[in-house]
Chain A
Amino acid sequence: MLTPGPLTTVQDRGRPGRAAEGIGRSGVCDRGSAALGNRLLGNDPDAAVLEVTAGGLAVRAEAGLWLVLTGARCAGPAPHAAPFWLAAGEELRLGPPVSGLRTYVAVRGGIAVDPVLGSRSTDLLSGLGPPVLTARDVLPVGTAAGDPGTVDVVGVLDPPSGGVTVTVLPGPRADWFTDEAHTALTGTGWTVTGDGNRVGLRLSGPELTRVRTGELPSEGMVRGALQVPPSGQPVLFLADHPVTGGYPVIGYVAEPDVDRCGQLAPGQTLRFRRR
């Protein structure tokens, strides 16, 4: 690791099945993009990748490696969504993303840091998993079990810049909110603020007002939850969301659309449509 850029972590498919122990799933924010990288390299679907936030990564291969970049396409000469060989001593340098936020660097054989509780994912909320990567880290690479892919390049759409529309489904506490709040939820272009992270996105727009003001006993939630704290400004939970939360959830982003939310950069506009 020459430089991790603003934030680079090791991620895989996370730690499902431990929420009752207070351990969230974590894992890649954009599951589809990360899975594509592993598939193109013939990796196990559970192989760990690098999740690069807002580009800026620079790494040097100590030995020759097959790599694939997926997710946010970054400025620079490296091919995207296409396997390429990085020879021993060669460097990979990513510029800023052209669009999207998170770029996945899959390596044939997977990133082979020691797993913690069955996963190599860094959970920024609980602190479990490998540490956030820093310059001069040396990352071990595993051995791939499957045949290498024979695909030269795949046509995938880049994460869009500008406005994004996703499907919203009813949440458990939809009845805690006013009709105006429900109208505002789907009638607003919500701005993605700059203080989001792997835990969730903070959205800025009209205040979502409640008809019920009492306290909600904490309850379990999954990624995609639109939780509304007293400010009335919703938080859209991503991979490192807390296992339980004490604010009412007005709606859920449909599961296939949550990956796209993980690619939203500050300043982009998010709209919700009902199915």
Chain B
Amino acid sequence: MRLLPSGDAGLLVELDDLDAVLALHRTLAAEPPAGVLDVVPASRTVLLVLDPALTTVGAVATAVGRTRPTAADRTGGELVELPVVYDGEDLADVGELLGCSPAEVVARHTGTEWTVAFGGFAPGFGYLTAAEGTWDVPRRASPRTRVPAGAVALAGEFSGVYPRESPGGWQLLGHTDTAVFDLHREPAALLRPGVRIRFVDVS
């Protein structure tokens, strides 16, 4: 891991791959160093946001250096089942891109265990990565101006669920009625980094 400076209220840790990000995030989120307000994973980095009144970048760097994330930290998260109606407008197109039928796309999507790697696009949006198998689906050539809340989608190596209506360029497979973001729930986001997801076909 490489420690990169981010001013006096942050420390950015750069890692080799997403698995290392997941493991370090899980270790740090479970037991954040003193004075750390936020632990923010992304595709190759974990940012620690600290309160300069309570700690220093140096102390946080020392604490990060002492962590020993293990492979088990990659897979030990809470498991959530999401019921999905696979009626997405891009299901057939995704089948063509992957060289299989729409039914096989559904079988592969539900047969994969996904893990929330990181968020960032909007509150409650999680980038879901597959534990096994490879998904590589390009974004749509022209993004939609309106993707409904609950849309279950694919782009690149990731799957995701739109927490609220927004513009979006991901390929739509279907929709879920489960609220992935709820202001009256604590935590509000269902798809938090480390959470494992199984999609269940209820079409």
Whether A218 and B42, one on each chain, are in contact in the complex, defined by CB atoms closer than 8 angstroms, is yes
CB-CB contacts of A243-254 with B at 8 A, as 1s and 0s? 110000101111
Whether B47 and A221, one on each chain, are in contact in the complex, defined by CB atoms closer than 8 angstroms, is yes
Kindly identify, within residues 209 to 226 of chain A, every residue whose CB is under 8 Å from any CB belonging to chain B. 217-225
Given the known interface contacts A217-B44, A244-B40, the answer about A21 and B123 at a Cβ–Cβ threshold of 8 Å is yes
CB-CB contacts of B131-147 with A at 8 A, as 1s and 0s? 00000000000000000
Given the known interface contacts A218-B42, A218-B43, the answer about A21 and B187 at a Cβ–Cβ threshold of 8 Å is yes
Kindly identify, within residues 22 to 44 of chain B, every residue whose CB is under 8 Å from any CB belonging to chain A. 25, 29, 37-44
**A residues within 8 A CB of B4?**
172-173
Cβ-closest chain A residue relative to B39: A20
**A residues within 8 A CB of B42?**
217-220, 244
**B residues within 8 A CB of A1?**
none
In the bound complex, how far is the Cα of B37 from the Cα of A218, in angstroms?
20
Query: A153 → chain B, closest Cβ, in Å?
Result: 26
Query: B36 → chain A, closest Cβ, in Å?
Result: 9
Using a Cβ cutoff of 8 Å, how many contacts connect chains A and B? Answer: 127
Interface membership of B88, Cβ < 8 A:
no
**B residues within 8 A CB of A116?**
183
Interface membership of B174, Cβ < 8 A:
no
Interface membership of A128, Cβ < 8 A:
yes
Stretch at the interface among A11-19, A95-103, A104-112, A131-139: A11-19
Query: At the interface, is chain A mostly helix, strand, loop or mixed?
Result: loop
- Number of B positions contacting A (CB below 8 A): 39
Interface membership of A78, Cβ < 8 A:
no
Given the known interface contacts A220-B45, A243-B120, the answer about A18 and B7 at a Cβ–Cβ threshold of 8 Å is no
Query: A207 → chain B, closest Cβ, in Å?
Result: 23
Interface membership of A126, Cβ < 8 A:
yes
Given the known interface contacts A169-B8, A219-B12, A225-B7, the answer about A20 and B38 at a Cβ–Cβ threshold of 8 Å is yes
Given the known interface contacts A22-B119, A225-B6, A244-B120, the answer about A219 and B47 at a Cβ–Cβ threshold of 8 Å is yes
> Across chains A and B, which 3 residue pairs bring their CB atoms closest together, nearest first?
A252-B7, A220-B47, A220-B40
Q: Residues of A with Cβ closer than 8 Å to B? A: 16-23, 25, 116-117, 126, 128, 169-174, 217-225, 242-244, 249, 251-255
Q: Can you name 27 A-B residue pairings with CB atoms under 8 Å?
A: A17-B38, A19-B47, A20-B38, A20-B39, A20-B40, A20-B118, A20-B193, A21-B187, A21-B189, A22-B121, A23-B188, A25-B37, A128-B123, A128-B183, A172-B14, A217-B44, A218-B42, A219-B42, A220-B12, A222-B9, A224-B9, A244-B119, A244-B120, A252-B5, A252-B8, A252-B10, A255-B52
Q: Residues of B with Cβ closer than 8 Å to A? A: 4-10, 12, 14, 25, 29, 37-47, 49, 52, 118-126, 183, 187-189, 192-193
